[in-house]
Amino acid sequence: MNAQPETGPAPELRLGLLRTMLRIREFENRVAESYLRGITAGSMFHLSVGEEAVAAGAGAAMESGDCFTTHHRGHGIFLARGADPARMFAEVFGRREGYCAGKGGSMHIADISLGHMGANAIVGANIPISLGGGFAMKYLKTGKASAAFFGDGALNQGVLYESLNMAALWQLPVLFAVVNNQYGMATRVDRASASLRFVDRAETFGVRGAEVDGMDAEAVWRAARELLARCRGGQGPAFLLADCYRFYGHGRKDPSPYRSKEEEESWRRRDPLDRQRKRLLAAGLLSEQGFAALAAEVSREMDEAVAWAARGSMPEPADLFRHVYAD
Ligand SMILES: Cc1ncc(C[n+]2csc(CCOP(=O)(O)OP(=O)(O)O)c2C)c(N)n1
Ligand SMILES: [Mg+2]
């Protein structure tokens, strides 16, 4: 029997959501810092600061055995699914110790053992890969689900609608999870879409949809849990629209001149981390000292992960020819 009260998630889960969001933020801040210090291998990083509630909530609703893909802003989702931050930093730094031996970097990170079938830098391209994951789950009768995380930039792409159609037609256990941070590069979602009724679009295919406050980790968890349970239970695909905001620009160097300061401020006031911290303080599940201890522990973890990754080895020229074909 599930002993959780109807009023909300269990205390450990509520604390876990805060911890995951804190880890994501600290991770992302160090990616930005490392980039500015010149120790990363890439020229472009997409930080998910501000979007942590979507990753933490949906990540907590997923189970071992579920699989997923992400878009180019997927560090948080992978961390929420159990990634080792040290190996992630190593990948970002182009080291052999990274998840993909330093060959993939931030935008192509993957680890099948954790169900991560790959981040993808081509907008919308991860969606049909997750469709394949869903097909496998159904064909192999695993009772598990496959999730595709993508941004609002993919909402007007044909590949999304081809995938929704096929998922519905074949009743595949696929969760289409939209991290709607309001912008695709400099274009606001309402300037790119003829209609903002995205959930209705999914439902046109007979796909169950829900829109959720993506700045609220518990709300995301609740919605994702229900939709994933439908997927795993053989009730077909589902669509989750999580409304959120990226606190930085598209890339770390983008000062986002296309957004007003008032708009940025109004979203920053809804900071998902602050919200969860205050909620747990009010519920008596956390003290100020407890939070300070948690923050210090996470900060230490991430500092150690950066230091470990920076000591990693650089690929040799001969590594170019490794991992090209299966052994
Ligand atoms: C098919 C394709 N078109 C254009 C681009 C260039 N591009 C990279 S990120 C991006 C914006 C994506 O916006 P969104 O999907 O909302 O994700 P976000 O960056 O907001 O997380 C674009 C247009 C690309 N990578 N792939
Ligand atoms: Mg976007």
**SS3 annotation, 90-131:** HHHCCCCCCCCCCCCCHHHCCEHHHCEEEECCCCCCHHHHHH
Of 50, 28, 71, 20, whose CA–CA distance to 243 is shortest? 50
Query: What's the gap in Å between 71 CA and the centre of ligand 1?
Result: 9
User: From the CB of 295, is ligand 1 less than 6 Å away?
Assistant: no
Nearest ligand 1 atom to alpha carbon 181: 20
pLDDT confidence of residue 7: 56
User: From the CB of 185, is ligand 1 less than 6 Å away?
Assistant: yes
Q: Which protein residue has the closest C-alpha to ligand 1 atom 25?
A: 122
Stretches in the chain below the pLDDT threshold 70? 1-7
CA pair distance 179, 23, nearest whole angstrom: 19
Handedness of CA 183, 75, 64, 169 (dihedral sign): positive
Nearest ligand 1 atom to alpha carbon 185: 11
User: From the CB of 184, is ligand 1 less than 6 Å away?
Assistant: yes
Q: Residue 148: phi, psi to the nearest 5?
A: -115, 120
Nearest ligand 1 atom to alpha carbon 48: 21
pLDDT confidence of residue 1: 41
Q: Per residue in 113-160, pLDDT tens?
A: 999 999 999 999 999 999 999 999 999 999 999 999 999 999 999 999
CA pair distance 81, 113, nearest whole angstrom: 11
User: From the CB of 73, is ligand 1 less than 6 Å away?
Assistant: yes
Q: Which protein residue has the closest C-alpha to ligand 1 atom 7?
A: 123
